[in-house]
């Protein structure tokens, strides 16, 4: 999410450093309707499919069949670079309290998208997946307060993520 997400069905894992060898399970259930909408990427672990991206954000909406439409956008090469958009589809994993999604941008390949934690008011979210190679720090605001940034970063660190691997995302 924010994630040009999860082409984990491909062999990308081999080129990405593990930032958390004991990736956590999601901590808090997700009210899907509150999670939908726009999320700005504040920072992420470097991923080949996001190389050169700035102004990264994702929009989630409900499809008529109950799946989730995923629309990821970024500007390649800087804030004034060409916008690239990837459209995908996500499905909630049964029994996960809406915390685990299977996302596909290239059928039939699916990747894991886990909402590991989020603010009670859904103003920020931490997203990962089981390998510990991918991490996204997300916010409803492209420029949250310093205290919010500190909270998100601290929470990711508490969950065992190596914050030295985090690449902060430039936002307009």
Q: At residue 60, does pLDDT exceed 90?
A: yes
Which domains does the chain carry? 11-168 (2.40.128.20)
Tens-place pLDDT, residues 62-96: 999 999 999 999 999 999 999 999 999 999 999 99
Is residue 16 a contact partner of residue 129, using CB atoms and an 8 Å limit? no
For tokens 């090469």, name the residue: 77
Q: How far apart are CA 123 and CA 119, in angstroms?
A: 6
Using left for φ > 0, alpha for ψ between -120 and 50, and beta otherwise, residue 84 falls in beta
Distances (CA, A) of 116 to 73, 81, 124: 22, 31, 11
């Amino acid at each position: 999410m924010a994630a040009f997400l999860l082409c984990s069905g491909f062999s990308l894992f081999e080129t990405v450093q593990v930032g958390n060898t004991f990736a956590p399970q999601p901590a808090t259930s997700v009210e899907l309707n509150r999670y939908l909408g726009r999320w700005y990427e504040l920072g992420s672990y470097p991923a080949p499919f996001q190389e050169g991206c700035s102004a990264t954000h994702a929009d989630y909406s409900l499809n008529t069949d109950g799946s989730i439409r995923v629309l990821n956008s970024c500007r390649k090469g800087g804030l004034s670079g060409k916008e690239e958009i990837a459209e995908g589809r996500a499905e909630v994993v049964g029994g996960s309290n809406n915390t685990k999604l299977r996302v596909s941008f290239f059928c039939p390949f699916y990747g894991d998208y886990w909402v590991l934690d989020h603010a009670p008011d859904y103003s920020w979210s931490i997203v990962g997946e089981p390998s510990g190679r991918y991490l996204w720090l997300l916010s409803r605001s492209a420029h949250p307060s310093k205290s919010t940034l500190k909270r998100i970063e601290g929470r990711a660190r508490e969950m065992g993520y190596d914050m030295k691997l985090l690449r902060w995302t430039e936002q307009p």
